[in-house]
Amino acid sequence: MATTSITEASLTAALKERLKAVHVEVTDMSGGCGQSFTSLIVSPEFVGKNSLKRHRLVNAALKQEIAEIHAWSAKCQSPEEYEKEKAATGGNDGPPMDGTTDGKVEGVSQ
């Protein structure tokens, strides 16, 4: 199984630095080999931008990292959207976990 130097922590740090993100949650869904990640990114950089423009910002900020991994998924919110959703969901605001079993991609061993 191929591994990479990309980790939840390295992606989180990059997003906070490059997008001035105020809240970041990154989850390695590949069983620890660093090939599939999902994320929740909250940044004031997203204010006034539609979903496509937000994702383009993220992809540009993580261009090198994304080139080294197999799969990347991001939920992008402005701070206001994040607070509104957090209040509406009672704090369940994590990254999207669609297609997973207990937060891991099916068929991937640890």
Q: With respect to residue 33, please indicate whether it lies within any of the assigned structural domains.
A: yes
Alpha-carbon gap, residue 22 to 105, rounded angstroms: 27
pLDDT in tens, 4-61: 689 999 999 999 999 999 999 999 998 878 899 999 999 999 999 999 999 999 999 9
Q: Is 104 within a domain?
A: no
**Which range marks the domain in which residue 73 is found?**
8-89
At 74, which CATH number? 3.30.300.90
- Count of the separate structural domains present in the chain: 1
Of 70, 26, 74, 69, whose CA–CA distance to 51 is shortest? 74
Q: Which residue has the tokens 């869904």?
A: 29
* Amino acid symbol at 102: D
